């Protein structure tokens, strides 16, 4: 259970956290206070999700300052949480949380792994989970279409029926800023991640029982795994769209309006 101290600070058990706001910005995690690049509204959404889902086996893509790893672990107390990070730089505060609490078996970070490296991800899944199905995947990694789709295609089939796949920050290409073409954080030369979200929504309509539902807000997309059987190898959500949907996504005017 989350205990809020003020609008950004909170505790889970005996672990202190600080969420993001525009006044304080980002900061490093320490063993005294773990930082999350998530505001209070997002944190509350995760508290509700964890309460209903009760996830035991979790994969997180993107470690950054390690605060979210610690938060998810403290909140869920899972059988195992495996976290993947592109950077090779270890997070000292995260390592301390793991070693000081003897959590080496239940919280396992892997550094220097690209989320689009399917061979590396598959090897990690086999090593850490074997044939066990996942309850929850949280993607807060690159936020780019191809990389995020690649991870989704590999990991979504490994979710149990009723499991949830979360994609964070999907709407970065549509922020209401004055000069979006010059905003570095909006990646003006990159295709918006919303394309993948459209593919997932269309796949929900074009398949039977593959995706039980899609819940979207400004920050998160939550995709609920349906009960239909799905082979783990060769899944591609983009191919699940029927021709009418594919023609909509292929319209260049939709991606580059005048």
The 10s digit of each residue's pLDDT in 201-221 is: 999 999 999 999 999 999 999
- pLDDT of 181 strictly over 70: no
Residue 196: band (very low, low, confident or very high) from pLDDT cuts 50, 70, 90: very high
DSSP string, 60-110: EE--TTSHHHHHHHHHH--SEEEEEESS----HHHHHHHHHTT-TTTEEEE
CB-facing half-sphere around the CA of 84: CA atoms within 13 A: 25
Percent of the chain past pLDDT 70, that is, above it, reads 93
pTM beyond 0.85: yes
Average pLDDT over residues 223-247: 91
- pLDDT of 178 strictly over 70: no
- Sign of the dihedral defined by the CA atoms of residues 144, 126, 137, 6, in that order: negative
* Tokens linked to 116: 């689009």
The residue with greater pLDDT, 29 or 175, is 29
**What number of other Cβ atoms are within 10 A of residue 195's Cβ?**
19
CA distance 170 to 140: 9
Average pLDDT over residues 1-9: 95
DSSP string, the chain: -EEESSSSEEEETTEEEE---TTT------SS-EE-S--HHHHHHHHHHHHHH--SEEEEE--TTSHHHHHHHHHH--SEEEEEESS----HHHHHHHHHTT-TTTEEEEES--TT-HHHHHHHHHHHHTTPPEEEEEE-S---HHHHHHHHHHHGGGEEEEEEEEEESTTGGG---S-GGG-GGG-TTS--THHHHHHHHHHHHHSSSSEEEEEE-SSEEEEEE-SS---SSS--GGGGS-HHHHHHHH-HHHHS--
Q: What are phi and psi of 163, to 5 degrees?
A: -70, 165
Average model confidence (pLDDT) across the chain? 92
Q: What is the pLDDT of residues 20-57, one digit of tens each?
A: 987 777 889 999 999 999 999 999 999 999 999 999 99
CA distance 93 to 152: 29
- pLDDT of 151 reads 98
Q: What are phi and psi of 246, to 5 degrees?
A: -65, -35
Q: What domains, with CATH codes, occur in the chain?
A: 38-255 (3.40.50.150)
Distances (CA, A) of 29 to 16, 129, 205: 10, 28, 42
- pLDDT of 167 strictly over 90: yes
């Amino acid at each position: 259970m989350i205990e809020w101290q003020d609008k950004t600070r909170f505790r889970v058990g005996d672990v202190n956290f600080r969420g993001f706001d525009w006044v304080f910005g980002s900061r490093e995690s320490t063993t005294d206070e773990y930082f999350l690049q998530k505001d209070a509204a997002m944190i509350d959404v995760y508290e509700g999700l964890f309460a209903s889902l009760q996830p035991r086996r979790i994969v997180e893509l993107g470690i950054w300052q390690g605060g979210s790893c610690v938060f998810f672990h403290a909140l869920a107390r899972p059988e195992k949480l495996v976290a993947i990070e592109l950077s090779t730089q270890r997070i000292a505060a995260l390592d301390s949380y793991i070693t000081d609490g003897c959590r080496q078996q239940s919280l396992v970070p892997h550094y220097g792994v690209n989320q689009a490296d399917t061979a590396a991800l598959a090897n990690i899944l086999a090593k850490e989970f074997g044939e066990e199905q996942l309850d929850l995947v949280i993607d807060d990694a690159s936020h780019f279409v191809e990389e995020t789709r690649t991870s989704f295609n590999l990991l979504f089939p490994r979710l149990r029926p009723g499991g949830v796949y979360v994609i964070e920050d999907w709407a970065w290409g549509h922020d209401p800023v004055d000069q979006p073409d010059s905003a570095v954080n909006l990646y003006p030369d990159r295709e918006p991640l919303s394309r993948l979200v459209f593919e997932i929504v269309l796949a929900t309509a074009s398949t039977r029982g593959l995706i039980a539902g899609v819940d979207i807000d400004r920050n998160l997309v939550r995709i609920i795994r349906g009960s239909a059987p799905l082979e783990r190898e060769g899944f591609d959500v983009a191919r699940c769209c029927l021709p009418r949907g594919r023609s909509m996504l292929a319209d260049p005017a939709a991606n580059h309006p005048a």
